[in-house]
């Protein structure tokens, strides 16, 4: 069902919420879909002001994963700042944000999948939001499957989302990051106790950062939302989480809507699925009038 299940309610990681968190709306842009091959070093060189030769010298290949040391990029950023080469400085800083905040899948390194995502936005304005949400769902699923408790990928984004829903605050913040900053001292939160004690009446259901005009309910022939990230493909069911966007849940979703799929990796084995997902995003289905009535309660017996 791709949701967090508590005693009497469920919470879903919603695409609309993640758009607000990373301030990168999908409207007017295309989502980024990895092509499964390495990014162009000449293109990266042109954006960063770093020669192709130096990039290849600093590239590290460990266990088949190619990446750049974070310290190398930080050094080049300081070097550009000292020379007042602000265009290159801003590009390197943006890549560091991608590697440290949005796609932190490796400690102290920025892998080429992250570089590919950054270049797609830089050159083609392709939004990374779908890839971010895909990587979060994918990582949580993999962590559960392997009975591992460690999550690195996309953790800062997930942390902002959790604080927004679980930590109460005064006032009405206008953005997720303001919401995050207004929350009480998060270092003192005992998350295990907090999550164990939560019930439906004590969480922040509708985050009033901005009204959502309509909800993305499905894409193309898929009965739910297919996602493709830097690690693989996964889906989620938005109809379980529409209450988080200010709409009532009028009943359980269909069996087809909660049928999960997950594809590990971006290899040729799943090429057909990759093509289906790209095609599906050409026909996103959004709803508003059918869901418009707002209600703080729940219709029927479905939480």
Find residue 5's DSSP bridge partners: 10
Q: How confident is the model at residue 293 (pLDDT cuts 50, 70, 90)?
A: low
Q: Which residue has the tokens 């829903």?
A: 165
Q: How confident is the model at residue 210 (pLDDT cuts 50, 70, 90)?
A: low
Query: How buried is 30 (Cβ within 10 angstroms: 0-12 exposed, 13-18 middle, 19+ buried)?
Result: middle
Q: How confident is the model at residue 228 (pLDDT cuts 50, 70, 90)?
A: very high
Q: Retrieve residue 253's tokens.
A: 């979703």
Q: Which residue has the tokens 């919420």?
A: 17
Q: How confident is the model at residue 154 (pLDDT cuts 50, 70, 90)?
A: confident
| pLDDT number for residue 143 | 83
Q: Retrieve residue 27's tokens.
A: 């409207």
Predicted confidence (pLDDT) at residue 133 exceeds the cutoff of 90: yes
Helices 86-97 and 112-124: angle between axes, nearest 10 degrees: 130
| pLDDT number for residue 298 | 44
Q: How confident is the model at residue 251 (pLDDT cuts 50, 70, 90)?
A: confident
pLDDT tens-place string over residues 78-106: 999 999 999 999 999 999 999 999 998 88
Single pTM value for the model = 0.88
| pLDDT number for residue 87 | 96
DSSP state of 100: I
High-pLDDT (> 70) share of the chain, %? 90
Lowest mean pLDDT among 94-98, 157-161, 229-233: 157-161
């Amino acid at each position: 069902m791709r949701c967090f299940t508590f005693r009497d309610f469920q919470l879903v990681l919603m695409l609309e919420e993640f758009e607000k968190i990373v301030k990168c709306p999908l409207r007017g842009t295309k989502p980024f879909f990895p092509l499964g091959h390495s990014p162009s070093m000449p293109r990266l060189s042109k954006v960063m002001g770093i020669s192709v030769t130096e990039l290849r010298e600093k590239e590290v290949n460990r266990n088949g994963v190619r990446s750049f040391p974070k310290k190398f990029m930080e050094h080049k950023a300081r070097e550009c700042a000292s020379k007042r080469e602000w265009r290159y400085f801003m590009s390197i800083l943006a890549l560091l944000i991608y590697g440290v905040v949005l796609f932190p899948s490796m400690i102290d390194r920025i892998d080429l999948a992250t570089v590919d995502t950054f270049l797609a936005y830089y050159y083609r304005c392709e939004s990374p939001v779908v890839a971010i949400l895909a990587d979060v769902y994918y990582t949580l699923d993999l962590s559960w499957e392997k009975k591992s408790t460690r999550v690195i990928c996309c953790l800062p984004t997930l942390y902002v989302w959790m604080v927004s829903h679980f930590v109460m605050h005064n006032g009405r913040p206008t953005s997720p990051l303001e919401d995050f900053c207004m929350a009480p001292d998060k270092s003192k939160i005992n998350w295990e106790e907090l999550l164990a004690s939560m019930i439906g009446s004590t969480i922040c259901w509708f985050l009033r950062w901005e009204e959502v005009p309509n909800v993305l309910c499905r894409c193309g022939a898929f009965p739910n939302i297919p996602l493709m990230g830097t690690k693989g493909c996964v889906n989620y069911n938005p109809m379980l989480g529409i209450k988080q966007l200010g709409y009532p849940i009028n009943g359980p979703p269909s069996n087809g809507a909660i049928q999960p799929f997950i594809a590990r990796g971006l290899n040729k084995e799943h090429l057909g699925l990759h093509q289906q997902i790209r095609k599906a995003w050409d026909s996103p289905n959004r709803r508003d009038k059918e869901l418009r009535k707002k209600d703080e309660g729940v219709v029927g017996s479905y939480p």
